[in-house]
Amino acid sequence: MKEYYNPNRESWKELLERPTISLKEIRTVVQPIIDAIIEKGDEALTAYTRKFDGVELENMLVTEAEIKGAAKHLTTELKEAIKVAHKNIAKFHKAQQIKPLKVETMEGVICERKSVAIPKVGLYIPGGSAPLFSTVLMLAIPAKIAGCREIVLCSPPNKEGNLHPAILYAAQLSGITKIIKAGGAQAIAAMAYGTETIPKVDKIFGPGNQYVTAAKQLVSLDAVAIDMPAGPSEVLVYADEDANPAFIAADLLSQAEHGVDSQVVFVTINDEILSDLQKEIYNQLRELPRWEIADRCLQNSLVIILKTEEEAIDLINAYAPEHLIFLCKNAREMADKIENAGSIFLGYFTPESAGDYASGTNHTLPTNGAARAYSGVSLDSFVKNITYQEITETGLKNLGPHVEEMAAAESLQAHKNAVTVRLNSLKNK
What pLDDT digit, counting tens, does each position of 143-159 carry?
A: 999 999 999 999 999 99
> Which is nearest to 245 in space by CA: 286, 283, 204, 201?
283
d(CA 360, CA 264): 23
Indicate the annotated binding residues for NAD(+).
124, 186, 209
3-class SS at 377? coil
Domains of the chain: 2-20+232-360 (3.40.50.1980), 23-68+117-228 (3.40.50.1980), 392-427 (1.20.5.1300)
Q: Average pLDDT, stretch 403-422?
A: 98
Determine what percent of the chain is predicted with pLDDT higher than 90.
Answer: 84
Distance (Å) of CA 104 to CA 170, 389, 391: 44, 10, 10
d(CA 396, CA 423): 7
User: Does pLDDT of 128 surpass 70?
Assistant: no
d(CA 204, CA 218): 12
376 DSSP assignment = P
Chain-centroid distance of CA 105 in Å reads 36
pLDDT at residue 20 in the model? 64
Element (H, E) at 112: strand 109-117
> Which is nearest to 284 in space by CA: 3, 348, 238, 276?
276
Looking at the annotation, which residues are catalytic?
322-323
Indicate the annotated binding residues for Zn(2+).
255, 258, 356, 415
pLDDT at residue 169 in the model? 97
- Across 237-249, b (16+ Cβ under 10 Å) vs e yields bbbbeebbbebbb
What pLDDT digit, counting tens, does each position of 359-403 carry?
A: 999 999 998 899 999 999 999 999 999 999 999 999 999 999 999
243 DSSP assignment = S
Contact of 155 with 124, CB cutoff 8 Å: yes
Query: What is 298-321 written as a DSSP string?
Result: HTT-EEEE-S-HHHHHHHHHHH--
CA distance from start to end of the chain? 81
Indicate the annotated binding residues for substrate.
233, 255, 258, 323, 356, 410, 415
| pTM of the shown model | 0.93
Q: How confident is the model at residue 349 (pLDDT cuts 50, 70, 90)?
A: very high
Q: Are strands 150-155 and 178-181 parallel, antiparallel or unpaired?
A: parallel
Element (H, E) at 251: helix 245-256
